[in-house]
């Protein structure tokens, strides 16, 4: 392909090995957007006439339409999206097209394209997270009175409201929202004008370009600007952690939908059957999501590994940033979209959940707290209730089925009012501290989340 210092054509195997057009073609709208702004800066610097600027702008817009319509032919021998667009532009408008790359390198060009792309995709991902949050809050609101066991170590621990359990994921996804917004602030810096490494002797008005492209800031070190992919790693981390949260939600849904729990049923539209066993209804969407999380984490590790050994400044290794980035964005958007549709179609078995929450062990801590309020030291109360629970298990009797005399055998501080402590509703209503799952608290949280989500598109 290249002329100049090279006297041989690039080997065909090398062309295939080094090309990136097979995946970086998707940067085309941002590459063209950046090129139009760059052309405007060349015009402002007196390097293009008004007529030439309009010729370039029209040619680039025509190329964009061809790509939009699927009629553009990408040429692998031109390596990447930048050279494909530039070559097509020159073919359309003649020698004027060859002026476009003045004071610009593919190094700062791709840095710009990636930032423009991620600025757009960050908003896309955040929009899908918001959609899932809305689905979860609606689901929690419809099931606000349902009591379910809370678990630690996958063992029944204490009773909670199902809505409180679901809102925990809304909180997780809100942190993801904040991480993407925070990462966007750092990636939203304009690198064009950094050249290959040291800018250019042809000085363009970088602030003008930044204003045209809507960047609030400009990079201040040309060497860092062309080699920086921190913003890619940050977005991949935010995606990977979102994937971890989706995977944890998936695991809960998989367990709750099992015959052993039988707390929920996932809609037929979001499950699959077995090729052999006719009775099966498998939570494949949840399992695929759990599996894709490993892929998202792997993409982050790939990016960090690419970066860790690079000397200053640009190195071709950085071409490998795009496939992992595109893949992670595609996967997380797909999962968020399918979950937004799946959550509203989950049916809850409130009776089964309540029956599980009647496990007397779930109120053991409440009894210990009762004794503490009777001036029994907590460690002593803990030991007493532990022995009482052992008897309960031995005799297959709940605490409420024991007599007051039996309870007093373990601690004389027990009074007749203790049996009121053993009502499930009373146990839930007593959890009134900020962040605890009392009905009043959960209702307030639902109201707050609905207000947040209704104020956004």
DSSP secondary structure string, 226-277? HH--HHHHHHHHHHHHHHHHHHHHHHHHHHHHSTTT--EE--GGG-B--SS-
pTM given for the model: 0.95
Q: Is 54 left (phi over 0), alpha (psi -120 to 50) or beta?
A: alpha
Per-residue pLDDT tens over the stretch 149-182: 999 999 999 999 999 999 999 999 999 999 999 9
Catalytic residue among 18, 153, 222, 245: 153
- Determine, yes or no, domain membership for 372: yes
Do 56 and 166 sit in the same domain of this protein? no
Q: In this structure, what CATH number is given to the domain that contains residue 62?
A: 1.10.275.10
Where is the domain boundary, 75, 102, 129?
A: 102
Low-confidence ranges of the chain (pLDDT < 50): 1
Where is the domain boundary, 339, 355, 371?
A: 355
Q: How far apart are CA 299 and CA 237, in angstroms?
A: 9
Q: How far apart are CA 445 and CA 431, in angstroms?
A: 14
Contact (Cβ atoms closer than 8 angstroms) between residue 107 and residue 226:
yes
Q: Residue 132: which domain range?
A: 107-199+215-355
Tokens encoding 380: 């002593």
What pLDDT shows up at residue 457?
Answer: 56
What pLDDT shows up at residue 12?
Answer: 85
Do 111 and 237 sit in the same domain of this protein? yes
- Determine, yes or no, domain membership for 1: no
- Determine, yes or no, domain membership for 7: no
Do 153 and 291 sit in the same domain of this protein? yes
Do 348 and 449 sit in the same domain of this protein? no
- Determine, yes or no, domain membership for 205: no
- Determine, yes or no, domain membership for 285: yes
Where is the domain boundary, 102, 120, 148?
A: 102
Q: How far apart are CA 213 and CA 10, in angstroms?
A: 36
Q: How far apart are CA 194 and CA 209, in angstroms?
A: 12
Catalytic residue among 22, 49, 258, 274: 274
Do 77 and 129 sit in the same domain of this protein? no
Q: In this structure, what CATH number is given to the domain that contains residue 315?
A: 1.20.200.10
What pLDDT shows up at residue 16?
Answer: 87
How many domains is the chain built from? 3
- Torsion from C-alpha of 246, 249, 250, 256, nearest 10 degrees: -170
Q: In this structure, what CATH number is given to the domain that contains residue 394?
A: 1.10.40.30
Does the active-site annotation cover 274?
yes
Does the active-site annotation cover 105?
no
Closest alpha carbon to 117 in 81, 76, 71, 69: 81
Do 342 and 416 sit in the same domain of this protein? no
Per-residue pLDDT tens over the stretch 55-95: 999 999 999 999 999 999 999 999 999 999 999 999 999 99
Do 125 and 230 sit in the same domain of this protein? yes
Do 260 and 336 sit in the same domain of this protein? yes
- Determine, yes or no, domain membership for 209: no
Contact (Cβ atoms closer than 8 angstroms) between residue 435 and residue 446:
no
- Determine, yes or no, domain membership for 97: yes
Do 339 and 372 sit in the same domain of this protein? no
What pLDDT shows up at residue 292?
Answer: 98
Do 96 and 175 sit in the same domain of this protein? no
- Determine, yes or no, domain membership for 5: no
Do 34 and 122 sit in the same domain of this protein? no
What pLDDT shows up at residue 127?
Answer: 97
Do 186 and 225 sit in the same domain of this protein? yes
């Amino acid at each position: 392909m290249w002329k100049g210092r090279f006297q041989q054509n690039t080997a065909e195997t090398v062309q295939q090995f080094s090309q990136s057009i097979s995946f970086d073609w998707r940067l085309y709208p941002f590459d063209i957007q950046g090129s139009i702004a760059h052309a405007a800066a060349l015009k402002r610097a007196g390097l293009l006439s008004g007529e030439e600027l309009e010729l370039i702008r029209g040619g680039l817009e025509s190329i964009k339409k061809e790509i939009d319509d699927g009629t553009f032919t990408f040429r692998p021998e031109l390596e990447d999206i930048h050279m494909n667009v530039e070559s097509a532009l020159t073919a359309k408008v003649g020698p004027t097209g060859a002026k476009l790359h003045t004071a610009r390198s593919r190094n700062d060009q791709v840095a710009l394209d990636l930032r423009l792309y991620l600025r757009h995709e960050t908003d896309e991902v955040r929009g899908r997270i918001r959609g899932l949050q809305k689905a979860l809050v609606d689901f929690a609101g419809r099931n606000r009175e349902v009591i379910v066991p809370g678990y630690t170590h996958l063992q029944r621990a204490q009773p909670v409201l199902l809505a409180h359990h679901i809102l925990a994921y809304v909180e997780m996804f809100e942190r993801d929202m904040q991480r993407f917004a925070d990462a966007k602030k750092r990636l939203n810096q304009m690198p064009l004008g950094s050249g290959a490494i040291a800018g250019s002797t042809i000085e363009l008005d970088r602030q003008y370009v930044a204003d045209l492209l809507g960047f609030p800031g400009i990079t201040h070190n040309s060497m860092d600007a062309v080699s920086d992919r921190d913003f890619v790693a940050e977005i991949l981390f935010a995606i990977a952690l979102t994937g971890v949260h989706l995977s944890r939600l998936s695991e809960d849904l998989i367990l709750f939908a099992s015959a052993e729990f039988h707390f929920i049923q996932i809609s037929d539209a979001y499950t699959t059957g077995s090729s052999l066993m006719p009775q099966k209804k498998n939570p494949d969407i949840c399992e695929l999501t759990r599996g894709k999380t490993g892929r998202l984490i792997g993409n982050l590790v790939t990016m960090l590994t690419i970066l860790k050994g690079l000397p200053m400044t640009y190195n071709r290794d950085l071409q490998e940033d795009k496939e992992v980035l595109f893949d992670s964005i595609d996967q997380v958007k797909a999962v968020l979209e399918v979950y937004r549709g799946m959550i509203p179609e989950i049916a809850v078995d409130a009776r089964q959940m309540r029956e599980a929450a009647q496990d007397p062990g779930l109120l053991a801590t409440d009894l210990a707290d009762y004794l503490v309020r009777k001036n029994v030291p907590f460690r002593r109360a803990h030991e007493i209730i532990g022995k009482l629970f052992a008897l309960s298990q031995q005799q297959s009797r709940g605490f409420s089925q024991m007599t007051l005399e039996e309870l007093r055998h373990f601690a004389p501080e027990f009074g007749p009012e203790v049996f009121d402590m053993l009502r499930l509703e009373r146990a839930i209503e007593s959890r009134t501290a900020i962040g605890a799952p009392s009905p009043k608290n959960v209702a307030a949280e639902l109201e707050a989340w609905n207000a947040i989500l209704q104020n956004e598109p």
